[in-house]
Structure formats: structure tokens, C-alpha cells
Chain A
Amino acid sequence: MASKSSVAADIPKLSKELCLRLLGDLEKAKRPVIYATKCSLDNAMYNPKVGYLTPGDKKVATELNVSSVKKMSRTIFMLEIILGNLETGAVNTKRELYYISKGYIKHDPKLKPLDFADQNESDDIIDFICEMLEVYREEINCYANDRGGQTYSQQLIVTETMVDGTKATIDLSKLGTSPFQPKNRPQNLKLSARKKIDFCLIVESEGTANTLVANGFTKRNNCILMGAQGVPSNAVRGWSKLIQDQLECPIYFFGDLDAYTMQNIFRTLKAGSAASLIRNEDYSAPEVRFLGVLPDDIKKYDLLDYPVKENDAQEARALKKAGDVLKNDPFFMDKKNKGLADILKWLQVNKRRCEQQSYFTVNPKDPTMPEKIIIDKIKRGHYV
């Protein structure tokens, strides 16, 4: 895939070429076909040298016929709206695009048949456009809400290039207890450090990240501390990738020891997801390491763990899915990630889980105990 920054400018050109092809076919009464990259696990490839999931050769072909004419009409309709946005530099969320489409339909009764019954329908069309043009939504000026990724550091300085070309500099040490919120389009950010940054720690729980900062973690360590807030959003993923590439510091992930965290949160952070095969290049940080909680930690620190409850639907499902993942997910199947696959297997066999907050049980009187364990583990190289 070509470098994203150069492709972004080509979207109007790509779209016009596609439409010209469709028009040519129609003029000849030939059935036009639109090809889109198949974004699913069965088309996901993993090359340990690249480090993230990339799309395979499989394409989804949509041939124009009576059944697909509605989808194609909607695609062209939405594409026109997006091209308008790209021309003027306007940005929107998916929900806003849904309402914008509603607005066009409201003002032009001829478009009524295209009307979306709910946002899911317009979201699907937006995703289809991305897969068709092999671009990601941020490139077509469609942004998600910036969720997660709140970042704390005494060393980090971020320089943002604005749409009008002006620059803004944010010194994170000047923000007090407020975190820095990364944007969905990290390509516009440039990072630098006051002092060499020793590591970046991504904590699964936003609350725990906050606690560590409040207890002086970022004061005592030359580091970047980030809260992931569950499954990493595009903002978190792009931001982590930026830190990895521009600061070249080791990145560690600290989260729960359970199947969901391993296969949904950590895998997405490290190698991207099957649904976003097109954009994993810019939205994954392959260097990130799994610091804990590791199965060994339970014994070593005598952590409080507990069996997976049968009635916890999410956990039970994740554990069941772990079996499929070990067999089908190219990321976990690759020998480079054997250590991570072993953790999944351990979870499958033992059916136990241990939360990140269990570090607080080690010495309840010492609020900095989790920090001590984390630093100790980094020093000893006790991570996967």
C-alpha cells in the first residue's frame, strides 16, 4: 500500500476514475463491478517483520444488478458528499454525515429512495467507500469521537500543525493534572522530548492511569503514561504508533490478565484489527510489549485472582473465542508471538483471571506499590 499522506490527496482523482469506469460500462450496457478489499480475519495476513495485520488478495466484488443498484446509488450519493467535504476541508463524524445525507434528501424529493432508515445503514456505506478506495475514514475527513488515550508526561512536547498551516505547541509538563488528549489524525502531530524518555506505559484502565499520575508516577520516572480506556480507539492506536516511531522509546502495556484484554485490546493495539486491515499500518504499534498482569505475577506477588464466572457473558464468550483465535488468527499463530499465544492458552486451561488493580493487594498500606512492581518488571525485563 502506498504511503497514506500521498494517497490522501488522490481521493478525488481516484473517485473520478472509478466513476468514469462505471459510466463507460453503463454506456456500453455492460455490468460495472466495484471491487473492495475484504476486511475480515480470513483475508488478514501477518508478517512478523511488518508487525501488523495487512490485507490479503481477497476482494469483495459488487456487480450492478437489481439487488445492488440501491447500494451503488447510495455509495455514489455519499461519495459526492465526502468529495464536497474534501474540497472545502470540512470534517464530520459518521453521525453528522448521516444527518447531512438526510438533509440533502429532505431538500430533494427525487433522492427519497436513498433515505437511510438509521445510522447503521449510512455507516455501512461509509465503510464500503473506505474499502473501495482503500483509504481510512480519517482520510475522507470523517472522524470518530476522540476517546481514550489521555496522556501524562513531564517530558513530552507536542507540536500540532493546524489546517491553516499555523502551529501550536503543547508542553505536557505545563498541564498540571490535566491530560493531553490525542487526536484521531496523529499525522499532524510532531513529538519532541525535554529529556530522554525512558519508556511509555499504556494502562488499560483510565482510572488506574490517573491514580498512578496522582501518586507521582510521572514525576519519579522520565516517561509517558497513557490511559487506553478499553479497546483502543483510532486515536489511541495512531498516537501509540506516533510515539513508537518518533520517540523510539520502549512501550509497555499494563492491563488485566484475561482473554478479552489479550485478544481484543492488546492485539488491536499491537497489530491492528481485521476490520481495519486498510489502516493498520498507521494505527498499530507493533513494538508494544505486554508487561502484565502475567500468569507468573500471580504466584510471584501472590495476587488475588479468581475463576471466570460462567454467568459473565462477556468473559465466557471471550474465553470461548480464544480457542478460535489460537487456530485462526495469524497474529497469535505466528511464532514471533508465541509468548502471547501461551498466555491465551494458559487462560483457556486455567479459566482464571486477574485484574490490573490486584497489584494494590500486595501491600495495601503502600499506594505506590503498583508503581514499584511495574518499574521492577521493566527493569528485570519481565514482559512478553
Chain B
Amino acid sequence: MAAHMASTQKITTSSTAEYFSKNLQQVGFSSHTKAVLTTLKEAVDNALDACEENDILPEIRIEIEKLGAGSMKNAEQIRICVVDNGPGIDPDDVPKVFGEYLASSKFGRGRCTRGQQGIGISAATTWAQLTGGKGALIITKQKGMRKALKARVEVDIKNNKGTMKDKDMIDWDRPNGTSVEFIIDGRIQLNGEAGLMNYLLGTSLVNPHLTLHYKLPDPEIPETTIERVSKDFPKIPEAVEPHPHTMKLGEFIAHSHLFGKVKTSNWLGKGFSRVGPSVIQELIKTAGVKKAIFEKNVDQLDEAEFKSLYTGLQNLPLMAPSTSSVLSIGEESLSKSIQRLGAVDYFSVVTRKPTICDFKPVEVEVAIARLQVKTVEQDTPVQVLRFANRVPLQFDKSACAIYNSLTTVNWKAYGLVQPKESLPQGPYIVAVSVVSPFIKFKNASKETIDSSDELVEEIRRALMQAGQKLSKHIRREDKANELEEKIRHIEQFGPILVEGICRITKANDTRKEKARLGLMKLLGRDAQEAEKDLESASEKLEAHLVKTKKSETVEEVEA
């Protein structure tokens, strides 16, 4: 049969670029609106990652404009330009960064960076090339360079290679940075969950150290600058080696290829977390792995030997991986950042300690803000902002672990309205950020976090803690309303009651005045009691805030 096939069909291989250019919907280009958002997102992610890696406080300028009708049906031609103050890109690397798939400085490194595989920005270049006819226009300048490189990068789809066109060295009025511009077919959606505004709002929330300028093609939205609220760099922890329990056999074997001629015992010790000499001893003793395997060089192992090592490791109860590799925004920064969402009435933020879910280190942070201007109807669901490694997730929410966690928490207990198995309601923004060096997404376009039971439970706990903090505020507010109501009651009904009684008893004015004073005294006592209640509720809230502050400081010291 194989011989028959060979005679009639020719087996060909296609490049990675070819695959992705035909399957751009898998990486976030499945609709016109998504195309705009994904392009912007990829450019911003790269800019932020580059700044953070080089200890630069990011300042990013976004410009989006409509140029006219697009080449595709129902699409507009849109220019998206993102300029950062990052370190700039080595001119030799420019075609790789923007024009080659899977060319990444971050691939499989196990760090909490936004980008991971090196697909997104090349996909954006491909989209621009396919719909607008031109690739990405790049201007980049590194420190020390007198002039900036300006070039158009395109993807050589057949060979998965980036190519540079119209290369020029130009004057650029900044010491370093990168500007990337795409002209693509797409459609702009400003509002709603999948809107641009939501993306900008979310990005500024989880990046307190970011100064963001943006200009959108809507005359009603003026050119805006959101200033940074924190000068602290997010400390991106060092990468950790992968944990054997998170790998499949194929990945395990592929991992060995990165090491080449080293002894198997050394490979295991250096290439994985939580595998030390004692584990190797245990493998020999209990899992029955031959001692000779550990003495061999890893490139000499055959498949059966890899398999016995792999299954041996899977059956051993290894320690969970270290949580030191996760990055957090922190409650303090989040508290400052949340105020940039608009006029916020009050808020509560929770940063959970890093923990292990499905053998991967994860950290969950939650911020809940109540908007001062209650333009939304009371029965409208809360606005949810989802983040994975500080990147907003804006599509396909119903399958997401964050959404599942939100709908299974009983928000009624914290004073919010919530229909059964649904999102709570009211003028609130609930932001949930999941950070992990190994986030499991449902798809390559990174829109939905996979809902594992452990992760959902961890997110639920964070939400519940934030809910508890919130309920203290709501309770205090209820007491304040009660007091107001009581005072109003006294003012309204007191005089009417006295007048009525005096008319029936035909009492004179002196008695009437005396009764009025007596009544005020009586009801005033009630109001004073209500005031006391309010004070004690406020004190409780205050004490709670002090306590949580203290415990955080202790945790930090311990850490």
C-alpha cells in the first residue's frame, strides 16, 4: 500500500509559517474584530515583556486609525501602531522577531512572561501581509545607536523566515525603543467585553507600572494618557526547570535533546525540578530502573530506557514544584491601579500566596471595584476582567476557569445580588488575574484558561476572600443608610404625631411644645444608638484592614 501511495501521491512537508498562515483563526484571527484586538495585544505584550526584561518602566503609545474600506468584505482598513520605550531590537534579530514563527527568547523557559512561544507577533505580520499586502513596519533603536533602523518585515511563508524590505537608517527622537505598525483588515469594536476599551482598561489595571497613551478612531474619545501609579518593577522570578509530573513521554524525550552528551543522572538532576540524588536512589530501589541507565549519556538512551525512567518518575510521589517562579502584582500596586478604572467608590484586593495547582505553580489575584457612577442597571451582571500572565482575556468566557469560579461563589453572602449559577450583578468590576509560568490554555489563541478543579478552587478562594472584604464595606454602608433613614424618620413623623395627639386631646401650645421636645429627645436617643452602631461597624472595618495589612507584612518578612 505504501508503495502504491508513493507511486501516485507525493508527500510534502510544509513550514510552520505555512501552517499558521492557513490557520490564523487558531491564533486569534477568527473574525475582523478579533484581528484588531489580537494584533494590538501581541504588539503590546512584546513591548511590555521587553521593557520588564530590561528593567525599564514601560511607556507605551497606541494609535489606531481607520484608513478606509478593507480588501475583504465588511472589513475596514485599519492602522495599528504601538511605540514603546523598550531596549530596542538588534537589527539582525528584527526579521526573526516579527517574521519567523516559533523564534522566541521565551519558549519553554518556565517564566511568567506574557508571550511564550513566539507565534503571536509573526501571526500579526502574516495577517497584515495577507489582508493589507504589506508586512509590519518596524522602527527600532538600541541604546548607543545614532540612528534607528526602519524596515518592513514580511514572512517568507514557504520557508518560515522573516525578510526585511525598504531597509533604511533614520533619525529618531528617542534614545531607544521600538515602533511597530500594521495595516490590516479588521473592524473596530470599542465597547463591550471584547472591546478595545476593555482591553486598555484591563492592561492598565494589571500593569500599575505602565504609562499608557492611546488615540482611538472615535471623536468622542479624546487622546488619553493613563499615568503609571507604581515605579516598582515587577520582579520576574527566575525560570524553574519543568516538573516531571507535568510532562508527557514525548516531551520528556524531547527535553533530553536540549542536553546532548551528559550523563543521564546529571540530566535528571539539572533538567528537572524536584529530582535529586535521593529520587534517583528511589528510582533504582522501588521503581526497578536499572542502575546502568543513569551512567549512560542521555543521547545514547533508547526508547525503552526513556520509558522506564519516565514511568518510574511518574509513579514516585515527588515534591510539588517550587512556587518561587510566579510573579504577582501585589495588593498595594493593585489597590493603586484599580483607581485608574474610573471613579471607584471602594474596592477590595486579594493576592493569594503562590500555590500548586495540577503540579504547576500558580498565583491568583483578585480586585473588586464598585463604580461611583452607577450608570449600569442594578440587574446588569458585573463587568469581569480576566487575565492570564497579565494579558487580558476577552473571548469565550463561559469555558474559562475564572468565569466558572465566579459563578460558583455565593455572592449573596457578601451582599451582592446573584441569580442562580450566574454572575453577580451591580455596578462592579471584578478582575481576576492568574499568573503561572505554565498556564494551560484551551487553545493556541490564549483566550480561555482550562478549568481544572484545583485551579477553579484556588480562584474561588481568592474571590471569596475579596468578597469578605467587600461585605464589610457594604455592611458599613447599610448602617450608614439606616442612620440616615432614622434621622429622616424622626424629622418627618415627630411633628405630625405630636400635632395629631394634641388635636385629639385639645392640648394647649405649652403642652404641645413640651411633648415635641420629649419626643425629639426619645428619638434622638435612637439615632445616637444607630450612630454608635455605625461607628462600631466602621471600627470593625478599620480593624480588619489593619489586621490584614499586618498579616501581609508578616508574610512578606517571612518570605
Contact = CB atoms under 8 A, between A and B. Distances in A.
In this complex, the member of A28, A64, A69, A83 whose beta carbon has the largest number of chain B beta carbons within 10 angstroms is A69
B515 interface: yes
A114 interface: yes
Contacts of B504: 15-16, 19, 76, 79-80, 83
A113 B493 contact: yes
B496 A66 contact: no
Interface string B489-533: 110111111101111110100010011111101110011001000
A23 interface: yes
Interface string A60-71: 000011100110
Contacts of B517: 29
B501 A66 contact: no
A113 B496 contact: yes
Given A23-B505, A26-B515, A66 B500 contact: no
A23 B515 contact: yes
Given A76-B497, A80-B503, A64 B511 contact: no
B486 interface: yes
Contacts of B530: 66
A66 B526 CA distance: 6
Contacts of A111: 496
B217 to A, nearest CB: 51
Contact of A70 (B489, B519, B521, B527): B489
Contact of B507 (A23, A70, A114): A23
B500 A80 contact: yes
Contacts of A66: 486, 489-490, 523, 526-527, 530
A20 interface: yes
A72 interface: yes
Contacts of A20: 505
In this complex, the member of B489, B502, B511 whose beta carbon has the largest number of chain A beta carbons within 10 angstroms is B489
Given A79-B504, A113-B493, A69 B511 contact: no
A127 B388 CA distance: 63
Contacts of A28: 518
A158 interface: no
Interface in A19-77: 19-20, 22-23, 25-31, 64-66, 69-70, 72-73, 76-77
B526 A73 contact: no
A114 B507 CA distance: 22
A23 B500 CA distance: 10
A110 interface: yes
B502 A23 contact: yes
Nearest to A76: B500
Given A19-B505, A20-B505, A77-B500, A113 B492 contact: yes
A31 B525 CA distance: 11
B489 to A, nearest CB: 5
B523 A70 contact: no
A283 to B, nearest CB: 28
Interface in B464-506: 486, 489-490, 492-498, 500-505
Given A16-B504, A66-B526, A26 B493 contact: no
Contacts of A29: 517-519, 521-522
A220 to B, nearest CB: 57
Interface residues of A, number: 29
Nearest to B499: A110
Nearest to B490: A66
Nearest to A112: B492
Nearest to B486: A66
A213 to B, nearest CB: 50
Contacts of A19: 501, 504-505
Contacts of B523: 65-66, 69
B500 A64 contact: no
A26 B501 contact: yes
Contacts of B522: 26, 29-31, 64-65
Contacts of A15: 504
Given A23-B501, A27-B518, A66-B530, A73 B493 contact: yes
A66 B517 CA distance: 15
B501 A114 contact: no
Contacts of B500: 73, 76-77, 79-80
A16 B496 contact: no
Interface in A75-103: 76-77, 79-80, 83
A70 B490 CA distance: 9
Nearest to B491: A113
A342 B497 CA distance: 52
Contacts of A30: 518, 522
A242 B501 CA distance: 38
A72 B501 CA distance: 10
A26 B505 contact: no
A76 B518 contact: no
Contact of B496 (A27, A79, A110): A110
A219 B347 CA distance: 84
Contacts of B501: 19, 22-23, 26, 76
A110 B530 CA distance: 26
B483 to A, nearest CB: 10
B497 A69 contact: yes
Contacts of A83: 504
Interface in A90-137: 110-111, 113-114
Contact of A114 (B496, B505, B518): B496
Contacts of A26: 498, 501, 514-516, 518-519, 522
Contact of A69 (B490, B503, B514, B521): B490
A38 B174 CA distance: 85
B513 to A, nearest CB: 10
Nearest to B512: A23
Contacts of A64: 519, 522
B505 A27 contact: no
Contacts of B518: 25-30
B523 to A, nearest CB: 6
A77 B502 CA distance: 11
B526 A27 contact: no
Contacts of A27: 511, 514-515, 518
A147 to B, nearest CB: 33
In this complex, the member of B490, B517, B518, B530 whose beta carbon has the largest number of chain A beta carbons within 10 angstroms is B518
Nearest to B503: A80
B496 A73 contact: yes
Contacts of A25: 518
20 contacts: A16-B505, A19-B504, A20-B505, A22-B501, A23-B502, A23-B507, A26-B516, A29-B517, A29-B521, A29-B522, A30-B518, A69-B497, A69-B523, A70-B489, A73-B493, A77-B500, A80-B503, A80-B504, A113-B493, A114-B493
A-B residue pairs, 9 tightest by C-beta: A76-B500, A29-B518, A26-B515, A113-B492, A66-B526, A73-B497, A26-B518, A29-B521, A73-B493
Given A16-B504, A69-B490, 19 more contacts: A19-B505, A23-B502, A25-B518, A26-B498, A26-B515, A27-B514, A30-B522, A65-B522, A65-B526, A66-B490, A66-B530, A69-B494, A69-B523, A79-B500, A80-B503, A80-B504, A110-B495, A110-B496, A114-B496
Interface of A: 15-16, 19-20, 22-23, 25-31, 64-66, 69-70, 72-73, 76-77, 79-80, 83, 110-111, 113-114
Interface of B: 486, 489-490, 492-498, 500-505, 507, 511, 514-519, 521-523, 526-527, 530
